Structure 1
Amino acid sequence: MAKRPATAKKTLSAANLKALGDERLADLLMEMAGEDAGWKRRLRMELAAEVGAADLALELDKRLNTLAGSRTRVSWRKRPELLADLATVRRIIVERLAAMDARLGLDRLVAWFDLYPGLASRVKDPKGELALLFDGASNELAATASLAGPDVAAPILIEALNTRLSEWGSWIGRGASGLSTPLARALLVGIIEGRPRPTGRLALVVQKLADRAGDLDTWIASLPDEDRIKPEIGAEIARRLAEAGRAGEARAALEASRPRLVEAARWGRREPEPPPPPPENWLTAEVAVLEAEGDVKGASDARWMLFERTLAEAPLRAEIAKLADFEDVVALDRAFAHAAGYADATAGLRFLMNWPALREAGEMVVARAGDLRGSADEVPLWASRLEGRHPAAALVLVRSRAVALTRLVLSRGGEEVEHLVQQAAALAEQIGDEGQDGFLLALEEAARPVRRGWR
């Protein structure tokens, strides 16, 4: 067997540290504990954990009480040390104590979160690192509470919400997706039952919990009445109702949120304006409602309308999947032709490249060269994908990119423009294109406004 290199033995790793032996490691840890109070506390907690959950909880309480009772201002120099201490305490609560006794772990984790208001008032934290530390622990709160179960966790979290809604509403809302379904339902019952309809921040918490619990009616009830007639929100209500098989209610929600005429100005100074076009999610919801109603043709027409207006891939793919052989080919030809003639040429090209429909994309680029925006970030990638089989289209894109960068800022596009000019020359020579001189003149013309601005 080959001898292990000396450098490998010196690498700081768990395996190499184990090789030092128990006595040597114990001596080193005692030495560190004598020099670092944080290490001393950590070792005491680890020793307490070996005895049992109650002993570890007692050690944690000592540290939590010290942090809660301190009134000392924390400077930016001391902030990293405090944040590391808080993270260590949280990790021991979650990974050690909660694993042994979920109830004790949840109690201490709630106490840990309750440190935030006092710390926020005395820690110099311009970057918001303290808030991020607590917000980032929301998922651990959800996991620990779920481990404790609804009977234990629900009363604790409801009390926290009732007494400190501002912070706890945010933490529970952030962690709602990680709660067990039974716990989310128990929290909803505790928040809603026998109480006025929630508003403000509490309503947002209810929405997140109802989402997690799969309680559609509670989710809808948490939305303000005036919001339900807004197209974006009404569409989401309708979509969810349609997916739940409640077609009649879905249609009512959709129609209630349909964009309407803008009222005429008072004193007759302005005629009523036509309603704005529905947003994309409203059109998507309309498809779902028509499908829930069993209107196959209406749903198909609505999917086409949605695609033709937005070039969204999802409704087109859904429509193609429902068509028989050969019918799907005809439908794709129709879709590609629509994209090629779309008012926003760059958006149309983006659709064709992403599908992908490279032949149609290449033809479109050549046909609508003057309509494309060379400044689009994807243009270099598109050109590289087209240059193999569609070099003429790639040449158009390379030239448009060079002109666009020159018009934007010469200092930004200098080296890239030079590379694009060389690439354009190579492509032009490959396909026998004679427009290189005209391209160079266009590039020179694009640079003149920038140069005049430098004088």
Structure 2
Amino acid sequence: MASKTTLNAKNLEALGAERLAQLLIEISTGDAAAKRRLRLALAGTQGPKEAAREITKRLTSIARARAFVDWQNRKPLVKDLETQRSAIMEQIAPRDPREALALLWRFMGLATPIFERCDDGSGIVIDIFHQACADLGEVARAAAPDPEALARQVLDALRGNGFGQYDGLIDIIAPALGPGGVARLKELVEDLGRTPVPVPPKSEWHAVGWGSGGTRYAHEMEEHARRSTVEMALKDIADAQGDVDGFIAQYDPKTRKVPKIAAEIARRLLAAGRAAEALGFIERAEVKEARWIPAEWQDARLAVLEALDRKDEAQAFRWACFARDLSVEHLRAYLKRLPDFDDIEAEERAMAHAAAHPGLLPALGFFLDWPSPDHAARLLIDRHGEIDGDHYEFLVPAAEALSDRHPLAATLALRAMIDFTLSKARSKRYGYAARHLATCGDLAGRIEDFAPVETHDAYVARLKSEHGRKSGFWGHFA
């Protein structure tokens, strides 16, 4: 049972309303954010209109702010924004969805002025706007606004989507628009597509500085933004209408051969029951000479082959994907579809293929992910001369995973990083390298045979001979 002094709602209720009110006044003194929350809560008791006025005042204040917000003082802004968004959804939307919808549009309008003065490297601020954008769909369905007016608001929002705050808006708002509203939005977007950004008449070129590079460049950027908005909106509208051909029409024939685009088209055709056409787009994609093939294209091709009941081809492609990229996912899927006992032989063949892969680090990564520590250890021992000590992102987890059962292999991974650090004089890594060498000393006692490399004592002696003057490293080691 919780103590009577535990901070929870039930225990605080025992203080009584008067004492709680006194404490809140004391706690909020000097805390602007706490005071705003209290005023907002009080306004909510007076009804949605009063709460809306309080929120509107705060949104206006945020919009007018000019101080730059860096990562150190971003937290208060995030808290403030979340407070306003939550108040709209919790205090106003249930009782007055139309008022809540108007406030949400106003809230979303804060994105541009905020991002122009805010460092959002962590993505915390944009996440709040993405949530508010999702809230638009929920509230718009309840508010049931005029489809024509809503369609125009959506178009205006998309034209001002400079920071990605409205990404996914069409899919979010489509249920509220209804079929008629979505069709009207399409008309508005197509009208925008037929209306290029106007060029000033020649008689005004000198007055507006059209001859200067800056003015002409700004016009080109605005025109590019208009075309991008139209293309992206028409794709999203096509998806909302279930119009696969309309989606395909937004790409020219050459772009349709880009593997990722071909995969997007194929997925939509497959969902529409047009698997044969989907395969055509997949097969025409330009992947034969590609050094890297997107996973989306591979997955789409497999889905299409399965839909067409071409299971043998799908299995052959799974093996090809594994053989090319050492893909754990494709190998697992391949083995899962084999008859009993055939999968054991196939797995052995896969391990041999991975061990012979020309890239040691991709092979090591595969064995660690599978996982097969025995194969990973054998790989490091057999091909220790190929280990690139610069790739600590592979070697550190390898050493950790192998240290218990395969101390020699773990030592080889650690030595590779030590050798690279010292030979390249990477002083910032000296501390790590010293710890690696200490770990090698711990592992040495469990290694019965150091072949094909030198013993630990001989290795340390060689390091002192070759790098004895690197006092920064030896200082860490000591």
The answer to whether 1:249 aligns with 2:243 is no
Aligned-residue offset at 1:415: 3.8
Helix, strand or coil at the partner of 1:324? coil
Q: Which residue of 1 aligns with 2:106?
A: 111
Deviation at 1:315, TM superposition (A): 1.3
The CA deviation string for residues 19-49 of structure 1, in whole angstroms up to 9 with x for no partner, is: 4422244456678999888777655543443
Q: Following the alignment from structure 1 to structure 2, what is the Cα–Cα distance between the partners of residues 416 and 31?
A: 50
How far apart are residue 289 of structure 1 and its match? 3.2
CA RMSD of aligned residues (A): 4.2
Once residues 93 and 353 of structure 1 are traced to their aligned partners in structure 2, the CA distance between those partners, rounded to angstroms, is 49
Give the 3 Å change call, closer, same or farther, for CA 158–133 of structure 1 in structure 2: farther
Aligned residues: 423
The aligned residue for residue 379 of structure 1 is 395
Instruction: Tell me the SS of whatever aligns to 1:348.
Output: helix
Matching of residue 331 in structure 1 with residue 326 in structure 2: no
Aligned to 1:127: 119
Residue number in structure 1 paired with 2:211 = none
Q: Does 1:101 align with 2:114?
A: no
**Cα contact 1:383–1:393 (8 A) shared by 2:** yes
Most deviating of 338-347 and 108-117: 108-117
Is contact 2:51-2:92 (8 Å) kept? yes
* Contact 2:93-2:100 at 8 Å conserved across structures: yes
Counting aligned pairs with the same residue, the percent is 30
| Residue pair 1:311, 1:348 contacting (<8 A) in 2 also | yes
- Taking a change above 3 Å as real, the CA distance of residues 21 and 323 of structure 1, as seen in their structure-2 partners, is same
CA distance in structure 1 between the partners assigned to 2:430 and 2:30 by the alignment: 57
1:411 maps to 427
Question: Post-superposition shift, 1:113?
Answer: 2.6
Alpha carbons of structure 1 residues 24 and 210: separation in structure 2 relative to 1, 3 Å: farther
**For 2:393, what is the secondary structure of its paired residue?**
coil
1:107 partner amino acid: A
The correspondence of residues 182-193 of structure 1 with structure 2, limited to 5 A, is 182-183=175-176, 186=179, 188-193=182-187
Residue 196 of structure 1 is matched in structure 2 by 190
Structure 2 spans left out of the alignment, 5+ residues:
194-226, 472-478
Shift of 1:181: 6.8
Q: What is the rounded CA distance, in whole Å, between the counterparts of 2:429 and 2:126 in structure 1? A: 43
1:149 equivalenced with 2:131 (yes/no): no
Match of 2:160 in 1: 167
Compared CA separation, residues 212 and 393, structure 1 to 2 (3 A): farther
Tell me the distance in 2 between the aligned counterparts of 1:2 and 1:280.
Answer: 55
Contact 2:319 2:330 in 1 (8 A): yes
**Which of 279, 295, 300 pairs up with 2:293?**
279
The one of 302, 305, 309 equivalent to 2:317 is: 302
1:396 paired residue among 406, 412, 424: 412
Shift of 1:245: 4.0
Cα distance per residue 1:145-166 (max 9 Å; x no partner): 3243184385554222333433
- Structure 1 residues 430 and 181: alpha-carbon distance in aligned structure 2, compared to 1, 3 A threshold: same
Q: TM-score, normalised by structure 1?
A: 0.75
1:344–1:110 CA distance, 2 compared to 1 (3 A): same
The structural deviation recorded for 1:226 is: 4.1
TM-score (norm 2): 0.72
